[in-house]
Amino acid sequence: MTAGIRARQREQTRHALLREGRRLFATLGYGAVGLAEIVQAAGVTKGALYHHFDSKADLFRAVLGEVQEEIARRVVAAAEAQDDPWTQLTAGCQEFLTASTDPDVQQIMLVDGPAVLGWSEWRAMDEAGSARHLEDALTTLIESGRIARQPVAPLTHLLSGAMNEAALWLATSTDPADLTNTRAALLTLLESLRVRPSRR
| pLDDT one-digit tens code per residue, 133-192 | 899 999 999 999 999 999 999 999 999 989 988 988 888 788 989 999 999 999 999 999
- Euclidean distance between CA atoms 32 and 9, whole angstroms: 29
Give the count of alpha carbons within 13 A of 74, CB side only: 16
CA 6 → CA 9, 53, 123, distances in Å?
A: 5, 18, 36
Give the count of alpha carbons within 13 A of 183, CB side only: 16
The most confident of the ranges 1-5, 21-25, 65-69, 156-160 is: 21-25
Assigned CATH for 1-53? 1.10.10.60
Strand (E) or helix (H) holding 15: helix 3-28
Tens of pLDDT, residue by residue over 14-38, are 999 999 999 999 999 999 999 999 9
Could you tell me the residue ranges of all domains in the chain? 1-53, 55-193
Burial 99-124 (b: 16+ CB within 10 A, else e): bbbbeebbbbbbbbbbebbeeeebbe
- The DSSP string of 127-148 is IIIIIHHHHHHHHHHHHTTSB-
Assess whether pLDDT exceeds 90 at residue 131. Answer: no
The pLDDT of residue 170 is 86
CA 138 → CA 53, 147, 150, 152, distances in Å?
A: 37, 8, 10, 7
The pTM for the full model equals 0.86
The pLDDT of residue 198 is 64
CA 126 → CA 63, 65, 68, distances in Å?
A: 13, 9, 7
Give the residue among 95, 118, 112 at the shortest CA–CA distance from 183: 95
Topology given in CATH for the domain delimited by 55-193: Tetracycline Repressor; domain 2 (1.10.357)
Q: pLDDT class for 196, splitting at 50, 70, 90?
A: confident
Please give the backbone phi and psi of residue 191, each rounded to the nearest 5 degrees, phi first.
-60, -30
The pLDDT of residue 8 is 85
Average pLDDT over residues 48-65: 95
Tens of pLDDT, residue by residue over 89-129, are 999 999 998 888 888 898 999 889 999 999 899 888 887 77
Give the residue among 28, 17, 19 at the shortest CA–CA distance from 103: 28
Helix (H, G, I), strand (E, B), or coil: what is residue 194?
A: strand
Q: Do domains 1-53 and 55-193 have the same CATH topology?
A: no
Assess whether pLDDT exceeds 70 at residue 81. Answer: yes
- Euclidean distance between CA atoms 29 and 86, whole angstroms: 37
